[in-house]
Structure 1
Amino acid sequence: MVKAVCGDAHTSWAADHAVFQADGAVAAHADLIAESLGHGSAYTDRLLTLALAGMGDLRALPALQRVADDNRLPSDRPRARILAVLPAAELLPVVLPVLRQNPEQHDSTTALLELLALWGPASEPAVSEMIRFLGTADTYDALRVLGRIGPPAAAAADRLAAYATGRDPGARRPHTRVAAWAHWKVTGDPTLALDVCGTAVRSGTASHGLPFLADLGPLAAAHADAVRRLMESPGAWTRTYAAHAYWRITGDPGPAIPVLLAEADPAWAGDPAMPVREAVRILGKIGAPAVSAAPLLRRILAQEERLSRPWRGVRILADQAYVRTLTEALEGIDGK
C-alpha cells in the first residue's frame, strides 16, 4: 500500500489515510516516503508528510514548511499530536509565522495551540504570541499553553491573574479556572488556583475545575470532601474527574477505583463524548492498587475491533491511541 501511494498510483482515500495513520507500522518505508515528498499530488504529499513527521523523521521539515506556506497545516488536534514527536526547536520556525498572522485566517490555529501545549516549556519562544491570543476565540487554549510552558512564561503572570479573577473584560467562566491554574504553574503560587477552582467545586460548576485541583494534589486537601461528593455526580465526566482529583489530593485510591472501573465500558464505540479512555488512563496512573481493573483492560485490548465509530476520518489514529492507553495502563498496574 505504501508503494502504491508513494508511486502516485490510483489509490483510494481510505488507502491514503491508512498510510498516514499507520504511524510506526510504516517506519520501514521511511526512505521511500521521504523520497516521494514533492512528487505527488498536493493531497497525497500532505498525508505522506504527516506520516513521516509521525515517525519523528526530520526529513519531513521542508515539506512541512511547504504545507505551512500553503496554509494547510493540520486543523484538528489528533493530527497536531502527530507533529508533537518532532523537536520543538526544529518545528517552531515553521509554526510561529503562522501564529503571527491573523488567527481568523487559519483553520490550523487550534491544532497548533494543541501542539505548543504538548511541547510544554520547549514552547517558550511562543510566549509573546500566546499573550497576543488572549482576548480572541482561542483564549482558553492560549491560557493552557502558557500554563504548560510554566516559569518561562513569567511575562504573562499579570494577565493570567486578571483572567483568573475576572478583572480582564474578556474573561469568561472557563477562562478563570484555566487562568488560575496557569498562574500557579507560571509563578509557583497556588493561592489563585485553589481559590478559583475550589469555588467551582463548591458551586456545582466543577467539571472544569477538577482537573486543575487534581494537578494541585495535596495542596488542595481542603477541598477533598467536596471532590468526593462529586464522585456521585450524574455526569460521567464529572465522576471521572472527581475520582482522579480525589486520588491525587488524598493519595487514597480506594473510593476512586470503582468509579473509574464503571466508566471503562468494554462496549465503548469510541465516542469522544464519553470518558472511557480517560478512566482507563487514570487507572494506569493509580498503578498496582487498581489491579482489579487488569482483566477488563486485557479483555478490551484483545478485542479484534475496539472502536466501531469513525470520527473525523481518524479512526486508525483513535484506535492506536486507545491501544497505547490500554497498554500503558496495564504496564502501570503491573509495575512495568
Structure 2
Amino acid sequence: MLVQAGRAAAPHADRIAARLDSLVRDPDDYLIERLAFALAGLGDVRVMPALHRLTVRKLLWRNGRHARALAALPAAELMPLLRRDLGADAADGGGNACALDVLATWGPDAAPAVPEVTACLEGPCAYEATRVLGRIGPPAAAAAGRLAEYATGPVRPLGPWGPDPRGPWHGVRMAAWAHSRVTGDDSLALRIYTADLASGLGSRVLPYLADLGPAAARHTDAVRALMDSPGAWTRVAAAHAWWRITGDPEPALPVLLGSVDPEWDGHPAYPTPRAVRHLGEIGAPAAAAEPVLTRLLERETRLGRPWESIRILADDAFTRTLTEALAGIGSHSPECPSAGTGRPHQHEYPWGT
C-alpha cells in the first residue's frame, strides 16, 4: 500500500527510512523491497543501502511496476548501481527493461549510461534501448549508425520475439525517431514517416511527427484528416501533432476538448489524461477547458476500477496532470513551444511504435 501511495507517503518518510534501517539483517526481502520502493518514490536517498541489498539478491528490477519509482531518485545517486546492473548482462530481458524505463524517464541525465544502453541494442530490449538513446539525444550520437540500420532495415535486432525475417521490426519508427534525436538530422525519419502515411499507417507516426514539429510541415494535410478519425486516441494524437507542427491551436481545441470525459474513471482505454495534458501545453487559448478540468480536479471519487491495482498512483498522476494543465492554461503564452525547435517537453516523447 505504501508503494501505491506515491507522494502521499511523504509525511512518513522518516518512519519508512528508520524501518528500513532496522531491517538491515532481516531475511524478509519482500518487506524491504516494498519499503524501499516507497521511499525511492519520494526521491529519498536514504534508500540506497536497501537498493544495494536488493540488487545483490537480484530483486531490484524484477517488478517493473514498482521499479519505475526509482526514477524519482537523483540520477547521480542511482546511476552507478543502474549501470552496473545493465552492464552485468546486456542480454537480460525483464530486468533490463525496467532499468531502461528508469533511464528513459531521466532523458539527457541518463547520458553516462550510453555505453550500457548501446549494448542493449543487441539484445531482447533493443526497442527500450532505442527509446532511451533518443531521449538522451546528442550525447548518444555514437549509436547513430546502428539506429539507422534498424530504421532502414538492413539489420534487425533480436527484439522480444527473435530475429524474424518475415516482416519489418516493430521498432523501425522508434529507431528513425531516435536517429533524428541523436544526430539532429530529420531526413531519415521523415522519409520513413512519409512512407507510413502513404500506406495508411498515419496513426502510428503521429507522435513522431509531433516531435518533429515544423520540420513535418509537409504533412499537415494528412494530420488534419486524421483529426476526424473514428478512434479517440488517434484524434487526440492528430490534434496534438497539428498544434506542434503549425502552432495553430484552433482546429485542435475542439478535438481535445471533446476527448476530455468529465466522468473519466481511470479506464486506460480512453485518452482523457493525454487530452488534458495537451490542453495545458496549448495554454491560454484553451481557456474554455478550465471548467471541466476544475470539475475533474475537485471530484471526491478517486480513480480506479476493481481491476486497477495501482489506482492510488493513477489518481495521483491524474491530479498532477490536471493541476499542471490548469496552471498552463492560466500562465502560458499562446505561442506553440515547438516553434523554431520542433522539440516537446520531456514527458511528450513518442510512446508508440
1:1-336 equivalence runs, <5 A: 17=1, 19-38=2-21, 39=23, 41-75=28-62, 78-102=65-89, 105=92, 107-170=94-157, 172-310=168-306, 313-335=309-331
Contact map agreement 1:237 1:275 (CA 8 A) in 2: yes
Change beyond 3 A, Cα 1:311–1:278: farther
CA distance in 2, matches of 1:144, 1:78: 18
Query: What is the CA–CA distance in structure 1 between the aligned matches of 2:147 and 2:275, rounded to whole Å?
Result: 30
Cα 1:269–1:287 change in 2 (3 A) is same
Change (3 A) 1:310 1:278: farther
Shift of 1:154: 1.1
Query: Identity across aligned pairs (percent)?
Result: 53
CA contact (8 A) 1:198 1:213 kept: no
Question: Could you say if the C-alpha distance between residues 218 and 277 of structure 1 is closer, same or farther in structure 2, counting changes exceeding 3 Å?
Answer: same
Write the deviation string for residues 258-313 of structure 1: whole angstroms up to 9, x where unpaired. 11122211222322232221111111111111111111111111111241315562
Q: Is the 8 A contact 1:75 1:109 kept in 2?
A: no
Query: 1: CA distance between counterparts of 2:235 and 2:169?
Result: 21
Q: By how many angstroms is 1:197 displaced?
A: 1.9
Q: Distance in 2 between matches of 1:306 and 1:67?
A: 33
The Cα shift of 1:121 comes to: 1.6
How many angstroms does 1:118 deviate by? Answer: 1.0
The structure-2 alpha-carbon separation of the partners of 1:318 and 1:310, relative to structure 1 and needing over 3 Å to count, comes to farther
Paired with 1:281 and 1:74, the residues of 2 have a C-alpha distance of 29
Instruction: Report the CA distance shift for 1:246/1:321 in structure 2 as closer, same or farther (over 3 A).
Output: same
Find the residue that maps to 1:22 and give its secondary structure: helix
After TM superposition, give the deviation of residue 79 of structure 1 in Å.
3.0
Deviation sequence 1:122-175 (CA, Å, 0-9, x none):
212222222222243322211110001111111101011111111213383542
For residue 74 of structure 1, report the CA deviation from its aligned partner. Answer: 4.7
The superposition leaves residues 12-50 of structure 1 with CA deviations (integer Å, 9 ceiling, x where unpaired) of xxxxx1x22223333232222111115263222211111
Contact 1:201/1:227 (8 A) holds in 2:
no
Deviation at 1:96, TM superposition (A): 1.9
- Alpha-carbon separation, structure 1, partners of 2:74 and 2:318: 24
Runs of 4 or more consecutive aligned structure 1 residues displaced over 4 Å after TM superposition: 74-78, 103-106
Q: Whole-Å Cα distance in 2 between the matches of residues 72 and 269 of structure 1?
A: 33
* Unmatched segments (≥5 aa) in structure 2: 160-167, 333-353
SS of the equivalent of 1:100 reads: helix
Q: TM-score, normalised by structure 1?
A: 0.88
RMSD between aligned residues? 2.0
Residue deviations 1:236-269 (CA, integer Å, cap 9, x gap) = 2211111100000001111111111222112223
Whole-Å separation in 1 of the counterparts to 2:312 and 2:8: 12
CA contact (8 A) 1:300 1:306 kept: no
Residues 269 and 234 of structure 1, relative CA distance in 2, 3 Å threshold = same
* Cα distance in 1, alignment partners of residues 232 and 87 from structure 2: 38
The number of residue pairs the alignment matches comes to 319
Structure 1: tracts of 5 or more residues without a match: 1-16
Secondary structure class of the residue paired with 1:71: coil
